[in-house]
Structure 1
Amino acid sequence: MNQKEFFSENGFALIDNIYSEEEINSILHEIENADSQNDTFRKSSDLFAIRQILKEIPEISPIIFNENLKNLIREFIGNDFFIVKSIYFDKPETSNWYVAYHQDLTISVDKKVELENFNFWTKKQNQFAVQPPIEILKNIVTIRIHLDETNEENGALKVIPKSHSKKIYRTKTTDWSAEKEVSCNVLRGGIMFMKPLLLHSSSRTTNNQKRRVIHIELSNFDLPNEINWSEKQIIN
């Protein structure tokens, strides 16, 4: 089974050596020198996050979408996908931030409109989110770019393989004894492809090591005319 087939069947794939040390350092340099006063920046003792990072720090886009990544996107999902969401997460060395098993069930849009099968509207930092029909969620592919080595000790994602194929999961009624858990350990400069409907969680940090990740979502799905993807960008 090749990586593309593994991704389709299991809902995730891990690929190392996508970025050089120089590229990682360049990305981190741009992040560290960005203006953190904007509403899209959030900082606490447990988490530093930047929403819409590709809009806030456009200088990192050509580094992120290097030939290695663009070739993988073409191989795994095709030529017509575009960016619909981007977030930077920095889980500090002393973080006690734990995230229970969940699916990513919302998309970011430009406004709130009453539409059939678009539910559970929220608004955070001037950005609307909504749970769309499942066909849209199935179409999305997430890329997690690892700016640090990530393992079980500093909050690597844990996933339930193949859970993306079971539609909306109800974790409270899940028979966890029948599920297989996998820790997604990724080297610095590697990436993870993931389907948002894949059940995933993140543990607390125990080894005093950072876990910095850029989370990017791609889609080629056209939304209803009444709304737009709030972060839609073409991959150059």
Structure 2
Amino acid sequence: MNLQNHKNSIQENGFTVINNIFSNEEIEKMSEVIQNIDTSKETFRKSEDLFAIRQFLKEIPEINELIFNENIKMIIKEIFGEKYFVVKSIYFDKPEKSNWYVAYHQDLTISVDKKIELPDFGPWTTKQNQFAVQPPLNILENVFTIRIHLDDTDENNGALKVVLKSHSKGIYRPETIDWTVETESICNVEKGGIMIMKPLILHGSNRTTNGKKRRVIHIEFSDMELPEELNWSERGVFEKMN
């Protein structure tokens, strides 16, 4: 696996796709674990168009060993860096008949353990006792996101579309996108493959049109310490596995 090319692509374009990271058997095991969970918890969100689990690695600890296989560990170490740890995780299931689409946006918040007043941190949101805040730009620029695909995904079942190189332009309001200069790319990913992206890349997804589901495990990583008493809300999962 030539990871240097992927590292260069993330730096230059804001994302890369690497297929064949998980075997069919590993994906089936993950699917099985997810199917057998109690979905009544308040961190779970269920509708006709979307099923999501926040704090996924905390809620489903038995899946961690399946996710952090040798391929993923090598990718984290060689592309991100030696000291990167998990800071956020979500599971998304976009069902076959989903009408759910996501407009272009950047991921501008981090999940933390409490709300405290800090310079340059804000605005804040709280959902189900979970705290999210927009941090200073340097913290967002440091984060890498891995999206693990449990299904083949293309433009017909909600593959992410991105604006190339938009991750390097700071806070970029989607309403100001100038399509005469920007280039859109569709990120097709095979079942068992991953997409790695920088959260500041402008990204969105279309409605499903081919009757195929799209299940994705979204995990964010950083190696930065937060100021004062503030802590990343999901830190510790990956550190324990190393």
Q: What band does the TM-score fall into relative to the shorter chain? A: over 0.9
Deviations 1:162-214 (A, max 9, x none): 10000000222221221100000000000011000000011000000000000
Deviations 1:104-145 (A, max 9, x none): 000001111111000110011210000000000000000000
Confirm or deny: 8 A CA contact 2:17 2:195 kept in the other structure.
Answer: yes
Q: TM-score, normalised by structure 2?
A: 0.96
Looking at structure 2, the residues matched to 2 and 129 of structure 1 have their Cα atoms a distance apart, in angstroms, of 33
Tell me how far 1:19 sits from its aligned partner: 0.3
Please name the residue that 2:232 is paired with: 229
Task: State yes or no: 1:115 paired with 2:118.
Answer: yes
Confirm or deny: 8 A CA contact 2:51 2:92 kept in the other structure.
Answer: yes
Looking at structure 2, the residues matched to 38 and 173 of structure 1 have their Cα atoms a distance apart, in angstroms, of 38
Which of 65, 83, 95 lines up with 1:92 in the alignment?
A: 95
1:206 corresponds to which letter in structure 2?
T
Task: Please identify runs of 4+ aligned residues in structure 1 that moved more than 6 A.
Answer: none
Tell me how far 1:234 sits from its aligned partner: 4.5
Task: State yes or no: 1:2 paired with 2:2.
Answer: no
Task: State yes or no: 1:202 paired with 2:205.
Answer: yes
Please name the residue that 1:105 is paired with: 108
Looking at structure 1, the residues matched to 55 and 117 of structure 2 have their Cα atoms a distance apart, in angstroms, of 24
Looking at structure 2, the residues matched to 12 and 233 of structure 1 have their Cα atoms a distance apart, in angstroms, of 25
| Root-mean-square deviation (Å) | 0.9
Task: Give 3-state SS (helix, strand or coil) of 1:231's partner.
Answer: coil
Sequence identity percentage:
65
Which of 124, 129, 136 lines up with 2:127 in the alignment?
A: 124
Task: Give 3-state SS (helix, strand or coil) of 1:114's partner.
Answer: coil
Task: State yes or no: 1:151 paired with 2:151.
Answer: no
Deviations 1:65-87 (A, max 9, x none): 00011111111111110000000
Alignment of 1:147-226 (within 5 A): 147-226=150-229
- Which stretches in structure 1 are left out of the alignment for 5+ residues? none
Please name the residue that 2:141 is paired with: 138
Q: How many residues are aligned here?
A: 236
Looking at structure 2, the residues matched to 39 and 82 of structure 1 have their Cα atoms a distance apart, in angstroms, of 25
Which of 76, 79, 82 lines up with 1:76 in the alignment?
A: 79
